[in-house]
Each structure stands twice: as structure tokens, then as C-alpha cells.
Chains A and B, each alone.
Chain A
């Protein structure tokens, strides 16, 4: 037992996995907020419930979000966390840092906050965890001095984030970090001033492995892919086979569309490019031998979200392929179309997926002026209840 008298949390300092309790204690050595956080969380561990109040809008000048107001429900008992607001700080794309930058960030947070932070929040921001209302503005001012701006919160575009992309991955079909930075800069006002029915998240992954989990956790996923054929280095394939890779079990049989064949006699891997659905498995198995194609771009998926309210959704294919080259004006224009249409017609707290579910994908496509295509559905409808417009009836089946 140490001076903190937190016997339950102390148990979480045992064991090999790095301990958040140890981290809180380290911060608590010099921060009363961290010390009272430790004590309040110990109480939660005793009585099995959280002790944060709900509500409380706080912020910094010129911004409608980026700060999450948080107050202890037991301020008399834990005055250090009476106000324990968190600041969402927009991370550099790809989560790369110089140590100089990180130290400057630590200096600011030591001065104005609890010395505790999340590297990173689920959406991607650096979360500076716990400061007072009074310290918000000076903390933000100091952050802006060292080049850090706020991220998104509330019914806004949330801080875009991405996988490591072309900076360190051979699979990446798009420059995820550049796209993320571009969109973040382009959407500054929409990120900082909530003006939508609900949150809208944007994430980008360089290939269909989707390491950023974009299709699951972003309303708009930008996922790289190619439309020509994957590249094969036959010598390198043979090297994998000679080194013991079971090419039949791990590659040929796992191809979802039977697009691959291994000729054991000539020791050649053949791919039928027309059948390939760029699932990535064969490339993942033999990264030295197989590579993504040359004609690269991205698919856009719309509507990925967690359960609240109408159930979890995976993103739906909206654009099967578009080239992704700077200055990304087509992409920016499309995002504006989507958010305008949704902002105009969506209900309060209705994510874009739920909005699409309510009005129908066909109506949504008309609203944003996108032509339907078969890649958008896993199969056409099986019910006969098709809507027709008077204009379509006039045409008697003629275009």
C-alpha cells in the first residue's frame, strides 16, 4: 500500500500489461486533479458505478466544440476533479511525432492540466484528460502557440484519421495521410462548429485490409483499391513456396472468387484479374511476391457507425472507384453534397446511415446526384414493391 490508499486500483498495478493506474499515480505526484481522479475511480471500483455528472457546455473562444465538459458528481469529496474537462487536440495525420513536438505538448499539459492524456482517443484525437474551465482558454492559447488545434466534438465533422498509408505500407493504394490532412484543413469550420443532425466521422484506409477500421467506424470511409490486375513476381512466389508456404491452403483455396490458380508443374501463380475482388488475402500472405495494381484509387463507403440508435452498421458502397489525386476537389465537393443533403433533411441525432435507412438509398442517391450502380448492393431487391414517378410512367419504358 502506498500513500494513495487505493487498494482496489493497486491490484491493477500487478501483472505484465502496462498499467493505467501506475500512469495516474505518476501524474498524481504533481497534479491534484490526477490524485482526485485516482480517488474517485477507486470509489467507482468500490461501488460499481461512475461518478461523473452529465452535461455542461464549456469551450474556448471562436469554437463550438473540441472540449468535452466534465464535472465530478462528488465535488466536495473530490475537489480536484470538480471540473475535469477534456480537450480534443487534432493529431497529425498518421500519428507521427517528433519528440520535440511531444515534449512541447507535455509542457503545455503539465502547466494547464492533469498531466494525463490518451494517445489517442478512438476517433484519433490526442485527448488531454482533465482541466478546469478557467484553464481552457490559456491551455488552448498555449497549444496554438506550438501548432496544435482542436478536434471535433458534438454534432460536427469529427477529426478525420487514417492508417499509416504510403508512409510505411506497400499495400496502400492512396495517400491516406495527405487525404486526411487535406480534408481536415478543408473542413475546419465544420469540425469546429457543430451544425449537423449528429456526428459525422471520416476515416481513410490505404487498402481493403482497412487498418483504420474505416468501414466500421466512420460515416464516410475512404478505402484504397486498384482496378487493373495485381502484380505478381513469380520468382518471389516460388521462394515463398520453397520456404514452406502452403500455397493451396493459405492462398488458392482462400481466394473468395477462385481467381487464383497455382500450376504446380510450371510453378506459376495465375490470376484472373476479372474475377479478383481485391480482398488482399493473397497479397497479405506473400507481400514480397504480390503487389497491389497500378491503376489505383479509392472506394467510398457511407454510413458506418456503432449501435446507438438503430443498430451497428458497416459502411455501404457509395462510390466503387474514384481517383484520389490532389487537390481532391471531387472528393471535397462530394462530401459537401452529402453533408448538405443530410443537414437539410436529417432529424436530430440521426446519423447518416439512419437517415439513409429512413428515406431509402435510392432517394439519398437522387439527393446527392449520384447514379445507382450494382456495386452498391449485395443483390437487387426480392420484393415487387417498386416506386415509379409520373415522369417515368410518361416515358413508357423509353429512356
Chain B
């Protein structure tokens, strides 16, 4: 029997010596240029971190390439960030410029630090997910081909901007607290293969899986029936019963959400709110999505005060003006009708006309 439950490699064996020596002793940091952090320790040590964009979905060749670079400049150590960037940690100051030159020559993008767009957290999409409404990697690529100047710092932003993509409303990767979230959506009732349902589906758990009580047993067919008045296309039933199909290439689409954040800085963490309920799912370049996201970034960048995140900006100017200045049409789709709906209805005279 092979051994089990031995756990991940001990992180202490993965740390560069400068990190071991200064662990818990870091004093402050500066951002000398876009994509570069300099951390200074109370010991006087200086560590330069160079952040690089990754597609996240990578080949072993890609990993070996970055290992070669890390061997050359970082004594054989490299790390990744929570947003899937690479980080080259350089303890020898003389190696920083040559590293940056090599990265530039090899067309790696350095950036994602401070008031910038960092890498886009995203899900598997058509690459590996059974419930993907849209592709995730492709949307990221299309959007960031437009916006990479905000990653590299060639164009500046008032504050950091976090974009995330989820290929369905499961929102793996928790894009629900992003400045801009791009989410694949269904818009019609799932289809039921009654023949298959009668054989493979556990009726009771399928009925129980529905958060709005839209599913009831259909004893005649030994299957289930879904109410079109109650179903809001979450897809939870499809995860329980394989005879339920939520996919519909004709009507599925992409939605855009704004104003979320997880940081507690200044204002409290916030969920992202619906900005655009539907855009067509249009590979390979998703022009409607790319245009909508670019518009949001540009309008915010032009109008926000220094240091103001997307949600803080909207909070200051009000949602009525947000829809006005972004040119997005407000509709009944924006009005919540789920669990916490009434908490979002306006109860004050403090609004703008």
C-alpha cells in the first residue's frame, strides 16, 4: 500500500535564503517601477520581486522556461501569487535589470502591482468544466489583449482593479467580489430527459436541490417537472441529476458585474453588483464583452478620485449616475428578486435626478 496523507511539501524547503533570513522582519516596500516591488527588511536586506503575467493554463514547457529564468536570476526559486501571476524574487540587485531585459526580450509582461489590473482570476471554461456556459481562458485572453497596458503600467489607474471570469453562476474562483466580474449565464428553463431521469435521477434529492422550490416530482413520467415561474437557472439541480441539461448555446450568454472588493481598506468588503445582464457569448474574441469591460475601465479611470476603487466610485456618484455615465441601460433585470432583495430597495430621499 502506497503511503497516504503525508501532505504538501513543507513550504520551508521552498523558500529562498533571503526570505528565510528575513521572515517576519520585513519593514516596508516601495514600487520603484510598474510590476516591481522592493521589500526592505529590518536587517537592511532588500528583496526585489518582479511580477509577470501567466495564462494560468500552462504547459510543462512554460514551467521549465520560467525555471531556467529563475535559475539564472533567482538562485533557483520562484513563486506564484494568489491571482496566478509569477514572481521572480531577486536578492542580487545587479540581476534585476538583466532579468527585466530578458523578460522583455521574451515578451513576458511585467506588471500587476499597485494601482493596476492584476492577473484575471478565472475558471476552467470549455477546457475542463462540464457546466461551463462560456470559455474562461478565452474571455480572459480577449479582454486582457485590450487592457494589458493597465497591467504593465503603460496606462495608469486611480486604484487597483480586480477582474475575474467565471464560466457559470457557480462562480468558482469567487469572482463575486471583483471590481469587474464576467459571468456566464443561462436564460431559460433546463431541459429534462425524462427517460434518463426515470432511470438515473434521485427524485427526492433533485426536488430538494432547488433553492426556489421550482421542482416537483412528476409521478406519471417517474421524473420531475420544473416551474418556469420559479426557476432562476442556477443549475444546482443539474449538478444533482444528470438528466437535466442547462446548456443552450442559442440563449446562454455573458453578464457583467461591478463594484466588488475584498479589501477592508477605507470601505468594507462588497459583493459585485449587476451592471449588464446579458451580452452574447461570442468566441473567439467576445467583442461585446471586451468592449463593455473596456468602457467600464475607461469611464471609471477618467472619473474616479485617486485611490478610489470601482465600487467606492459608484458609491460616491450613485448608481443612477453610474448607469448614466457608462451608457448602460437600467432594466427590471437589475432589481433583485432573490433572498435578500428588499435590502437593496432604496429607502432614502438621498438620490440624484
Contact = CB atoms under 8 A, between A and B. Distances in A.
Contacts of B39: 168-170
A250 to B, nearest CB: 5
Interface string B1-31: 1111111111101111001000110111110
A188 interface: yes
B110 to A, nearest CB: 12
A256 B306 CA distance: 16
B57 interface: yes
Interface stretch (A208-216, A264-272, A366-374): A208-216
A215 B62 contact: no
B252 interface: yes
B275 interface: no
B138 interface: yes
B335 interface: no
A342 interface: no
A343 B39 CA distance: 43
Given A97-B78, A122-B121, A208-B263, A310 B339 contact: yes
A186 B331 CA distance: 50
A17 B145 contact: yes
A18 B141 CA distance: 7
B127 A129 contact: yes
A8 B3 CA distance: 45
Nearest to B122: A122
Interface in A116-175: 116-120, 122, 124, 129-130, 140-141, 144, 147-149, 161, 163-164, 166-170, 172, 175
A259 to B, nearest CB: 12
Contacts of B62: 23, 26
B322 interface: no
A185 interface: yes
Given A215-B269, A217-B174, A311-B340, A23 B79 contact: no
A309 interface: yes
Contact of B24 (A95, A166, A349): A166
A61 interface: yes
A9 interface: yes
Given A16-B145, A41-B126, A118-B56, A184 B8 contact: yes
A161 B11 CA distance: 12
The main secondary structure of chain B at its interface with chain A is loop
Nearest to A290: B28
Interface stretch (B203-211, B219-227, B345-353): B203-211
B214 interface: no
A39 interface: no
Contact of A52 (B68, B108, B129, B205): B129
A118 B266 contact: no
Contact of A213 (B71, B174, B306): B174
A55 B109 CA distance: 38
Interface residues of A, number: 129
Nearest to A177: B11
Given A49-B247, A50-B247, A309 B236 contact: yes
Contacts of B16: 96
Nearest to B2: A141
Interface string A43-57: 011011111111100
Interface of A: 8-9, 11-12, 14-24, 26-27, 34, 37, 41, 44-45, 47-55, 61-63, 68, 70, 84, 86, 90-103, 105-106, 109-110, 115-120, 122, 124, 129-130, 140-141, 144, 147-149, 161, 163-164, 166-170, 172, 175, 177-178, 181, 184-185, 188-189, 192, 208-217, 246, 249-250, 254-256, 277-281, 284-285, 287-288, 291, 304-312, 314, 347-349
Ranked 7 nearest A-B pairs via Cβ: A217-B174, A15-B145, A122-B173, A208-B264, A90-B8, A99-B67, A48-B249
Given A62-B2, A144-B2, 10 more contacts: A24-B59, A52-B129, A96-B15, A99-B77, A185-B7, A246-B306, A305-B174, A307-B234, A308-B235, A314-B177
Interface of B: 1-11, 13-16, 19, 23-24, 26-30, 39, 47, 49, 53-64, 67-68, 70-71, 76-82, 84, 89, 107-109, 121, 123-132, 135, 137-138, 140-142, 144-145, 148, 166, 169-177, 205, 208-209, 211, 234-236, 238-240, 242, 247, 249, 252, 260, 262-267, 269-271, 281, 283-285, 305-307, 338-340
14 contacts: A21-B141, A23-B59, A55-B242, A68-B128, A101-B9, A109-B60, A120-B80, A164-B81, A181-B7, A216-B174, A288-B30, A305-B174, A310-B339, A314-B270
